[in-house]
Amino acid sequence: MSRPSRPSRPTRRQAIGVTAGTLAGLALAGTAHASTSPAKTGHEGHGAPEAFDEVFQGRRIQGVPGAGHMHHGGGYAVRIDGQELHVMQNADGTWISVVNHYEPFATPRAVARAAVVELQGAALVPLA
């Protein structure tokens, strides 16, 4: 399914979020080694995809294998400006998040980017 293209220039609110998120993101620096683990395709099961860390439309998005919110059984954490985005892997290897819960994406990075578009600069609420 195609999504509408939206302006990529960060809003003032988004820029503020990046500043705050950079500090929170430092806590993840020690997990950078995870990026050397090979990415797996969905049909190989529930092995974690590789880590990522980038700025997308003014928000810092990060993916960290092995750091998922344990209450929900996740083995992979996605953060937007340092705040965890609840994600889930489907049986076919695709991913969804609590922000885009009915629309599967191929990778955690794609689900993080979709959440950034959907949030339009808003901050995530901490997971319960």
CB nearer another protein, residue 19 or residue 101: 101
CB of 97 to another protein, least distance (A): 9
Residue 14 CA: distances (Å) to CA of 20, 58, 74, 106:
10, 6, 27, 25
Alpha carbon distance 116, 109 (integer Å)? 11
CB of 106 to another protein, least distance (A): 15
CB of 26 to another protein, least distance (A): 22
Report the amino acid identity of residue 75: G
Give residues in contact with another protein (CB under 8 A): 1-4, 46, 71-73, 86, 88-92, 98-104, 118-120, 122-125, 128
CB nearer another protein, residue 42 or residue 63: 42
CB nearer another protein, residue 33 or residue 43: 43
CB of 36 to another protein, least distance (A): 26
DSSP secondary structure string for all residues of 82-118: TEEEPEEE-TTS-EEESSSTTS-BSSHHHHHHHHHHH
**CB–CB of 75/81 below 8 Å?**
no
